[in-house]
Structure 1
Amino acid sequence: MDFLVGADSDDGRSSRRSRAGRGRRRKRRRNKGGFLAPMLAIIILVGGLGGGGYYGYLWLRDVTTPDDYTGQGTGKVVVEIKQGQTASDVGRALEEQGVVKSARAFTDAVASAGKSSSLQPGVYELRKQMSAAAAVELLDPGKQLMDRVTLKEGLRLSDTLTTLAKATGKPVKEFQQAAKDGEALGLPAYARGRLEGYAFPATYDITPKMSAADILTAMVDRFNQTAEKERLVAGAKEMGRTPHEIMVIASIIQAESGKLDDMGKISRVIYNRLKVGQMLEMDSTTFYGLNKYGIAATNADVESTSPYNTYRRKGLPPGPISNPGDHAIQAALNPTEGDWRWFVTTDPERGITKFASTEAEFLKIKAEFEQNQGQQKQGNG
């Protein structure tokens, strides 16, 4: 019975294995067929994409590539990059002016050229409808439109304005008009609204976009910076003078000195004369009042009723007679120690100036000057 039971059990298990085996075989056959169908679908799908993918690429490329012109463009467009503008700001401005086709093309060209940090404020000349890359090339700081003007120390304001007019091509009347508005130019209160003496002599880069007022404002700004650096206000107080008086003294020093080394001594002569109430008797101030130039004032010159005639009026003239540089301002604040009360430029051609503490010494160096002048006239004759 056990045998029969065992047999029955074996037959049952065998039967089940047999059925299971047939099931697995049937399942494998079904899986084989099911695998081919998805593969075929993928192949068909990929094949479809292969045809449309190229056009999709072209569409994507057109979407991601910004509009841009080609070539160097035509005509002229003056463009200004302002302080603080980013490449995107500049790109939008160029697009609005018709220089580049799109701001994005410009920013891409800037990034591609590695010049994001080299866009410098200034005025540049570009062209209409030029490629963004060509525009970036013309925005090099070395290609800025500007006039470089050097204004020498000691120039009178009238000469300064004439020089600026010639350098910029602007009418001198524009500069003269702008010079009248001291408040707009940023003049300090002690300048009393007059630009003479406060248009600081230096080298300036002037762009076509700058107005006459802009240029003069830049010069006043430079003066204000120098005044702060030299401690003009505090230094004037230490000298017992106003800042305006220091600038008057500095302008006389600038006009009278032949060499840098003489400035401190000339400054001391001025202070020594003011201290004892002596007339300054400066030819430079007298000539300024007469609106003329010269080396030595004549008898007719010293009879002038001008308030700048220091042969007839005691003390300082009412205002500066020129635009002094920083060395003259320093000398006005720091006169050389000495008891000189006279000086004579005995040899103007070589800029030789001699100083005297007594009237007898003064007459001696004055005679030397007259002798040199006589010899010069004979040589010229």
Structure 2
Amino acid sequence: MNDLDLDFLVGADNDDGRSKRRSRASAGRDSGGRRGRRRKRRRNKGGFLAPMLALIVLLGGIGGGGYYGYTWLRDAMVVEDYTGQGTGEVAVEIKQGETASDVAQTLVEQDVVKSTDAFVEAIAAAGKSSSLQPGVYTLRKQMSAAAAVELLDPSKQLLERVTLKEGLRLSDTFKVLAKATGKPEKEFQQAAKDAAALGLPAYAKGNLEGYAFPATYDITPKMSAADILTAMVDRFNQTAEKDRLEAEAKALGYTPHEIMTVASIVQAEAGSVEDMGKIARVIYNRLAVDQMLEMDSTTFYGLKRYGVALNNAEVESKSPYNTYRRTGLPPGPISNPGDHAIQAALNPPKGKWRWFVTTDLERGITKFVETEAEFMKIKAEFERNRGGG
């Protein structure tokens, strides 16, 4: 390697020292310094190119390593995800209060999505992280996270919407629920026996009749018979709190259970909401003078039948619900009353009525009177409208 090559590699600092020594050695031979200047110019060019070449080599090394590093980092950051729409069916339940991360974990456990990160990223990209709603959804095994997000729309919940009308007896409530859910009636009958588990108030005396609140319920496949009945009792408890049932019952001189019994009779007897308050007043007026209630609805309940008017044999039944033979209220509610009937029982209008008859069943016309003589007249009107039967 010649001096020029060595100078080129080691850089400008060493080059300056050698330049001085060579200048002294050649000073006598070239007073004009032309050869020294030419050699110096050549060495100065080498001093500029050396760091440039080193920088290029360094950047090249970093660039090559950077490329491979970027490729490794990119591959490491790509989350695992299935592709496509998946296969089969999986029922996935989102519980109250669960976050997107909680749902992601459930989906991974049921092999719906490949990884939690894939689902979290997909739902964030769709802008639906905060729109997950509790319920049961039908998804598929090994589907892409984006496809799973689409099926978790609240409108696609897997549920049965069941409406239980006011005044439905508990036995019929079980039939409706069994038909809607496919669960045997016996499951509901058995669940109804556990008053504590259902959350029944103490004044219900362990009897669900009257406290399975009539409303529309969304029932998911994972709900047990006990879960469904508990939801109905919860709804009753909310209504009782709203209506101040215990306090208002006490103010009237009755227990909450007695008020619910009155409300159930009102619900069964009334042809319209407008008549409910007056029917409640008739009941209270009769109770005040120890007059038998003589309600067909209670007697039919004891007979486990339905009807418009009792025959002579039915009037003689020994059921504790036969208010033609027993004074006072029956042992408990005869149906599950709605809020209007409960309100009527708690807030009856003032009046001296002690009899009422629905004289026109088709039009739902009910007349209220104060005397027995007036009662005989409206009863005869009922018989005529009924065809003399």
Cα deviation, residue 216, structure 1? 0.1
What letter matches 1:318 in structure 2? P
Q: Can you list the C-alpha shifts for 1:39-70, whole angstroms capped at 9, x where unaligned?
A: 21222233345445444333222111110000
Superposition map of 1:1-381 within 5 A:
32-374=45-387
Unaligned runs of 5+ in 2: 1-35
Q: Which residue type is aligned with residue 219 of structure 2?
A: I
Judging changes above 3 Å, is the alpha-carbon distance between structure 1 residues 56 and 357 closer, same or farther for their aligned structure 2 residues?
same
SS, match of residue 305 in structure 2: coil
Please report the TM-score for the alignment, with normalisation by the length of structure 1: 0.90
- Alpha-carbon shift at residue 352 of structure 1 (Å): 1.1
- What do you get for the CA RMSD once the two structures are aligned? 2.0
Q: For residue 312 of structure 2, give the secondary structure of its aligned residue in structure 1.
A: coil
Q: Which runs of 5+ in 1 are unaligned?
A: 1-22
Letter in 2 for 1:240: G
Give the Cα–Cα distance (whole angstroms) in 2 for the partners of residues 27 and 145 of structure 1.
88
- Matched AA of 1:338: G
Deviates more, 1:35-44 or 1:287-296: 35-44
Determine what percentage of the aligned residue pairs are the same residue.
80
User: AA paired with 1:304?
Assistant: S
Aligned pair count reads 356
- With 365-374 and 342-351 compared, the bigger mean Cα shift is at 342-351
Letter in 1 for 2:343: Q
Task: Work out the CA distance in 2 between the residues paired with 1:31 and 1:154.
Answer: 107
For the residue of structure 2 that corresponds to 1:343, the secondary structure is strand
Question: How far 1:355 sits from its partner (Å)?
Answer: 0.6
For residues 334-354 of structure 1, give each alpha carbon's deviation from its aligned partner in whole angstroms, at most 9, with x where no partner exists: 011111000001111221111
Distance 1:263 1:27 in 2: 118
Write the deviation string for residues 242-278 of structure 1: whole angstroms up to 9, x where unpaired.
0000000000000000000000000000000000110
Q: Which deviations, in whole Å up to 9, do the C-alpha atoms of 1:217-261 show, x marking residues without a partner?
A: 000000000000000000000000000000000000000000000
> Matches of 1:25 and 1:236 in 2, distance apart?
119
By how many angstroms is 1:31 displaced?
6.1
> Following the alignment from structure 2 to structure 1, what is the Cα–Cα distance between the partners of residues 294 and 37?
129
Aligned partners of 2:172, 2:265: CA distance in 1, in Å? 16
Mapped to 2, the partners of 1:26 and 1:185 lie a distance apart of 104
Distance 1:26 1:374, change over 3 A: same
SS in 2 for 1:300: helix
CA separation in 2, counterparts of 1:276 and 1:235? 22
